[in-house]
């Protein structure tokens, strides 16, 4: 069983700015400050790269896709996520 958290990554941000265990709390915070960005549900104690391979949503097709540079930047649109503009879900 996988545990999950919600991570908010604001527009133009290099790093995430908040982590929540509850979607409602995350959305209240986003609305409170009229934030714009992406809220993504991510597995705890598991990389997105490994999760995607294990769920079959990604299969490495080349040696390049197994390199540290590729893995450390990997993300997946298959993760549950929401987009926000000025605190409102789009």
Q: What is the pTM of this model?
A: 0.85
pLDDT in tens, 5-49: 999 999 999 999 999 999 999 999 999 999 999 999 999 999 999
Distance of CA 51 to the CA centre of its chain: 12
pLDDT at 2 over 90: no
Return d(Cα 3, Cα 75) in angstroms, integer.
18
pLDDT band at 1 (very low <50, low <70, confident <90, very high): low
Distances in Å between the alpha carbon of 58 and those of 31, 52, 54, 55, 77?
A: 33, 5, 8, 8, 11
Q: Which helix (H) or strand (E) holds 27?
A: helix 23-32
């Amino acid at each position: 069983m996988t545990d999950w958290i919600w991570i908010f990554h604001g527009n133009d941000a290099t790093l995430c700015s908040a982590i929540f265990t509850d979607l409602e709390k995350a959305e209240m915070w986003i609305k409170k400050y009229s934030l714009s960005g992406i809220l993504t549900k991510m597995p705890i104690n598991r990389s997105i790269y490994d999760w995607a391979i294990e769920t079959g949503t990604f299969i490495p097709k080349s040696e390049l896709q197994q390199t540290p540079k590729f893995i450390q930047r990997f993300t997946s649109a298959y993760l549950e996520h929401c987009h926000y503009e000025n605190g409102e879900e789009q």
